[in-house]
Chain A
Amino acid sequence: MHVVYPVVVAALLFSIGVYGVLARRNTILVLMSVELMLNAVNLNLVAFDVWLRDVLHGGQVLTLFVIVIAAAEVGIGLAIVLAVYRNRRTIDLDRLRELGEPVEPPVGDRG
C-alpha cells in the first residue's frame, strides 16, 4: 500500500477534527474533535514508521507517547469541564465569557 493513502486519510481525519473544534460549542465535543486530530497524527506516524522501515521505530514510540498524552489530556480536560459545570452550570465554550476585555468608554484625547 502506498504511503499516500494513509497520509491522505490522516489529513482528512485531521481536517474533520479541525472542523469539529470550530463548529462545536459543547466543550466535550470539542475535546472529542481534538482526539480525532491526535489520532490523525498517530495514523501518520505509524504509516511513516512502516513505510520508512525505521529500525529505531521512532514513529511507533512517538505514537505510544501521543496516546498517553491524549489520555492525560482527556482526563484533565474532563476534570476541568466538570469544575466549570459545577461553577457555571454550562459547558458551552462560547458562553463562558466572564473573562474578557471589558467594554471601554470612547477614546478620549489622551496620549
Chain B
Amino acid sequence: MTTAATVVLLPFIGAVAGLLGSRWPRGRSRTEENNARAARRAAWLAIVPLPVALVLLGYLVWRTRVGPGLDWPPGTFYADLLPGFRSGAWGVIETGGVPITVGLQIDGLSVLTAILVCVVALGVQVYSVGYLRGDPRYPSYAAFISLFTSAMLLVVFAADLLVLYVGWELMGLCSYLLIGHWWEDRGNSRAAVKAFLVTRLGDVAFLFGIFTLGFAAGSFRIADVLAADLPEGTLVAATLLLLGGVAGKSAQVPLHTWLPDAMAGPTPISALIHAATMVAAGIFIVARLFPIFPQPTLDVLGVLAAVGMLGAALAALAQDDLKRVLAYSTISQLAYMAAALAAGSPGAAIFHLMSHGAFKALLFLCAGAVIHHVGSNLLSHMGGLRRVLPIPFWTMTIGFAALVGLPPTSGFFSKDGVLLALEHSASPIRLLLYGSALITVGVTGAYATRAWLRGFFGEQAPLEPAHGHAAPPTMLWPLVVLTVPTLLFGFLGAGDLALGSAAVTLVVGLLGVAIVLAAWRAAPAADPARLLGPFRAPCEEAFYLDRVYDRLVTRPTMALALLVVRTDTSVVDGAVRGSGQLTLRLSRLVKLAQQGNAQLYVTGLLAGVLLIVVGAVVL
C-alpha cells in the first residue's frame, strides 16, 4: 500500500516543491537569468518523480500478477492480466454520518491506468520543457501538471468514493489552471472557466450519486459499495447521477462542449488532459464501479455514446482548427469506450482507453510540433509540411492510422475489440450502438485523412515565423517514444481478434479514407469537408449546441443575476431602508404636534386623558 501512496504522493511533492521552491530564494527579481534558473529547477522537480513512480508501478505489477481479485466479467483483459487486489487504509474520518476511509486500493485496472497516466505525463513533461522554453511561468505550469498527475493517480488508486472525488475535482482545477495558462488572451481565460464550470456541473450530480451509494451501502469504500446488496432503484438513481460526472469529465453528450474550447491551452496540456488522463477518468470510474451499473443506466449511457460518437466525428470532419479536429475526435473515441461499457464490456473499453491514450497523446504532441512550427492552429494555414517536418509527419501518420484503426497499430485491435463487444452484446440497444459505431468508423477515416492531407500535402502555405527555430529534441523524442506503444500496445489484445468483424471494420474505415482521397485528388486545393454539402455549417458549429446552451443557460443566468442585484437593492434592502424612512416620516408627523403651541399641548393632553378614560371604562 505504501508503494501506491508513494506513487500518488511523488508528483504531489514535486508540485509543491515546484510551486514554492522554483524561485526560492530569489523570487522577486524576474530577470532572464533567474527565469532560466527557475525553469531548470522546475523541470527537474517535475520530471524526476515520474520515472520513479513508473518503477514503483512496475513493482506493483509484480505484486498484483497473481491473487484472488474482484469479480469481473469474463474476458476483462486487465483482470486477466493482473488479477491481484489489495487495499489498505490509514484512518477513518468520522463526519457524524457515513465515515470516510482514507485508503487506497490496487488492482489490475488501477495499475494499468496509472502506468498510462505516468507514461503520458512523463512524455508531456519532457515535451513541455522544449515547448515552453522561455516562458517565465514555466515553473508553475510544470507544477500544475505534476499536481494534475497526482490527482489523477489519486482517482485511480482511491479506495473510497469521497477520496476519489477529491482527486476528481482537483483535476478540474488543474485543467482550469492549465487551459488558462496563457491568460493574457481573454479567450483562453474563458475557455478555462467554461471547462471548469461544465465539468463541475456534472460533478455535483456525481457527488449526489456518491451520496446515494454511500448512504445505501453504509460506507463510501468502493469495495463495500460493490459488495453491498443494493436495491435496483437505488442503483439506477445512483449510477445515473454518476453518469453526470462521467459525462462532464469524459466529455460526453451533453456536457462535452468544454473540450473543443479547452484546446486553447498549450498543446501538451491538450495531450495530457484531453487524451490520456482527465477524460479517461470518466470511463475509468464506470469501469471501476461496473459491477453495480444496472442495465437501464447502461442503456442511457449507450444512447448518449451513440449520439456522441457520430456527432463528434461529423463535427471533426468540418473543423478547420487542427486541435479542434483532434478534440472532436477525442469525444468520438471516448464515446466508443462508453459504448463498450454500455455493451457490458469494460475490458474492451479500458483497452481502447489505453491505446487511445497512447495514440491521441502522440497525435496531440505531433500537432503541437506542427503548430509550434507554423505558428497557427488552422489547417488552412498549413499544407505541404511533410518535407519540412519529417519526424512529426511520420509519427502523425502512424497516429492517424491508429485513429482510423488500420493494422497493425494499437487502434486496429482496440477499436475492433469495441466493435466486437458491441456486436455481441446483450444490450437492448445493440443495433443502435453497432450501427452508429460502424458509420463512425467510416467518418473517422474521412476526417483523419482530411486532416492528414490538409496538413502535410498540397501547397505549402507561407510561414509565419512565430517560432523561427525548429522544434528542440525534447519535443521530438516523446513523439518517437510514443509511437512505440501506438504500434505495439495492440498486440496485448491480439489474441481476442475476430477476423470477420475486423474485416468489416477495416473496410468501412478504408471506405471513408478512400472517399476523402478521391475528393482531394479531384481538387487538391479545396477542403474535402465540402463533401458534407449543406451539413457542413452545422457540423462546423458542432450542431449549434454552444449557442443553445448560451441561450438556455448562460444568458438566463446572467439575466437572473442582474435581476437579483436589482431586487436586492430595491426590494430586500428597499424594505430595510423603507422602514428607516418610515420612521423618519413618522417623526415628522409627530413633530407637527410639537410646533410650540402650548394650547395645542393642553388640548392633546385633555383629549388623551379623555381617550384613556373612555378606553379604560369601555374595555
Show the binding face of A for B, using Cβ within 8 Å: 18, 21-22, 25, 30, 93-94, 96-101, 104, 107, 109-111
Contact = CB atoms under 8 A, between A and B. Distances in A.
Contacts of B603: 22
Contacts of B594: 100-101
Given A104-B588, A111-B577, 12 more contacts: A93-B599, A94-B597, A94-B598, A96-B596, A98-B596, A100-B594, A101-B594, A101-B595, A104-B591, A107-B584, A107-B585, A111-B580
Chain B contact patch, size range? 10 to 19
A94 B595 CA distance: 10
A97 B596 contact: yes
26 contacts: A18-B606, A21-B602, A21-B606, A22-B599, A22-B602, A22-B603, A25-B599, A30-B602, A93-B598, A94-B597, A94-B599, A96-B596, A96-B598, A97-B595, A97-B596, A98-B596, A100-B594, A101-B591, A101-B594, A101-B595, A107-B581, A107-B584, A110-B580, A111-B580, A111-B581, A111-B584
A66 to B, nearest CB: 19
A94 B601 CA distance: 10
Contacts of A98: 596
Interface in B562-594: 577, 580-581, 583-585, 588, 591, 594
B525 interface: no
B600 interface: yes
Give the secondary structure class of A's interface: loop
A101 B587 CA distance: 11
Contacts of A104: 588, 591
Nearest to A108: B584
A110 to B, nearest CB: 7
Nearest to B600: A94
B615 to A, nearest CB: 18
**Shortest 6 CB-CB contacts between residues of A and residues of B:** A100-B596, A111-B580, A97-B596, A101-B591, A101-B594, A100-B595
A111 B595 contact: no
Nearest to B606: A18
A21 B607 CA distance: 12
Nearest to B603: A22
Given A21-B602, A94-B600, A109 B595 contact: no
Contacts of A101: 591, 594-596
Contacts of B598: 93-94, 96
Contacts of B595: 97, 100-101
A96 B597 CA distance: 7
Contacts of A22: 599, 602-603, 606
Nearest to B597: A94
* From B577, B580, B584, residue with most partner A Cβ within 10 Å: B584
B418 to A, nearest CB: 68
A17 to B, nearest CB: 11
Interface string B259-290: 00000000000000000000000000000000
Interface of B: 577, 580-581, 583-585, 588, 591, 594-600, 602-603, 606
In this complex, the member of B595, B597, B598, B606 whose beta carbon has the largest number of chain A beta carbons within 10 angstroms is B598
A110 B602 CA distance: 34
A107 B581 CA distance: 7
Given A21-B602, A111-B577, A97 B584 contact: no
B11 to A, nearest CB: 57
Nearest to A96: B598
A24 B194 CA distance: 82
Contacts of A110: 580
Nearest to B598: A93
A109 B583 CA distance: 12
Given A18-B606, A109-B581, A111-B583, A97 B588 contact: no
A99 B596 contact: yes
A99 B601 CA distance: 13
B574 to A, nearest CB: 11
Nearest to B607: A22
Contacts of A109: 577, 581
Contacts of A100: 594-597
Nearest to A27: B598
Contacts of B584: 107, 111
A11 B374 CA distance: 112
B373 to A, nearest CB: 64
B602 to A, nearest CB: 6
Contacts of B600: 94
A99 B596 CA distance: 5
A86 B88 CA distance: 103
B599 to A, nearest CB: 5
A103 to B, nearest CB: 9
A30 B599 CA distance: 10
Contacts of A93: 597-599
B19 to A, nearest CB: 49
Contacts of A96: 596, 598
- A25, A101, A109: residue with the most chain B Cβ atoms closer than 10 Å: A101
Contacts of B591: 101, 104
Nearest to B584: A107
A104 B597 CA distance: 17
A30 B584 CA distance: 35
B579 to A, nearest CB: 9
A110 B585 CA distance: 12
A41 to B, nearest CB: 15
B262 to A, nearest CB: 48
A97 B593 CA distance: 12
Contacts of B597: 93-94, 97, 100
A93 B580 CA distance: 35
A110 B596 CA distance: 27
Nearest to A19: B606
Among A96, A99, A109, A111, chain B packs the most CB atoms within 10 A around the CB of A111
A53 B596 CA distance: 47
Contacts of B580: 110-111
Contacts of A99: 596
